[in-house]
Amino acid sequence: MAQTAPKTARERWKDFALLNLGTLLVAGGVYFFKFPNHFSTGGVSGLSIILGELVPAVSSGTFVWIFNIVLMLLGFWLINGSFGVRTVYSSMLFSAVLWVLERVCPLEAPLTTQPFLELIFSVLLPAVGSAILFNIDASTGGTDITAMILKKYTSMDIGRALMIVDIGITIAACFVFGMEAGLYSILGLIMKAFLVDSLIESFNTCKYFNIITSRPKEVIDFVVNTLGRSATEVEATGVFSHEKRTLLLVVLTRPQAARLNRFLRQTDPGAFITIMNTSSIIGKGFRAPA
């Protein structure tokens, strides 16, 4: 297994800031938009919203706290806590923020009179937060830990099992809160299914360059010494002109891609360039191999 270089203090602080930002976005979307509108779109928060209505003596935020602690303890017991320190921290922070908000900023009614607008924010904020957490190998726990337990002890399709549970929780909202809240919850579940994956892919998108150039030394020097990346160099021959050219294969982040584009226009206007989006990159400088 390839060894990754240890992170610098700056990178660790950046990850810690992102860990908190992602968790707070999820908590804000759940508390300010899901809870008051009874949008039960599955997961621990969706189940907690339903139980908070059925058991008025216990708030939805308290149920989230209870479920996350129980699942965390089960995770440590059954899978040796392999879900990671970041998930433990994020799960506890998420539960604590909800619990504090219920006492510091109690909500008696939704923030607006536009339920569809609030549904968008109830899906968008947690989706952005979850995508941020996923990119730093963290999550807010809950169903993620359930998935790990099921994966270890059963042979069932985990994604399908969790989707069935989410659908069941969402349908239950129709009976507990009425058809309007239930239909909004179903719509929210559908939106969440598409949005989270799209956001994660968007965050990870890089640019893959195929550059056919007559000035490879200048381009390589810019990529290596200015952008801090590497490239693959291939000798190529034009089929029509039979002229010798160099093909450079380069993968860059979006800001780096923009800089290389400007450099190529100035340095080699005759270069032939194709640029493609890619979000699945494994290798040094990008995602470490599993």
- pLDDT tens digits for range 159-168: 677 778 888 8
Domain ranges across the chain: 9-203, 205-278
Q: Which of 200, 42, 158, 21 shows the shortest CA–CA distance to 93?
A: 21
- pLDDT tens digits for range 54-80: 999 999 999 999 998 888 888 777 766
Prediction pTM value: 0.73
What is the per-residue pLDDT for 76?
78
pLDDT at 1 over 60: no
Is 1.10.3720.10 the CATH number for 205-278?
Answer: no
DSSP the chain: -PPPPPPPHHHHHHHHHHHHHHHHHHHHHIIIIIHHHT---SHHHHHHHHHHHH-TTS-HHHHHHHHHHHHHHHHHHHHTTTT-HHHHHHHHHHHHHHHHHHHHS--SS-SSS-HHHHHHHHHHHHHHHHHHHHHTT----THHHHHHHHHHH--S-HHHHHHHHHHHHHHHHHHHH-HHHHHHHHHHHHHHHHHHHHHHHHHH-EEEEEEEES-HHHHHHIIIIIS----EEEEEE-TTT--EEEEEEEEE-HHHHHHHHHHHHHH-TT-EEEEEEE---BSTTSBPP-
- pLDDT tens digits for range 138-180: 788 777 777 767 767 777 665 677 778 888 889 999 999 999 9
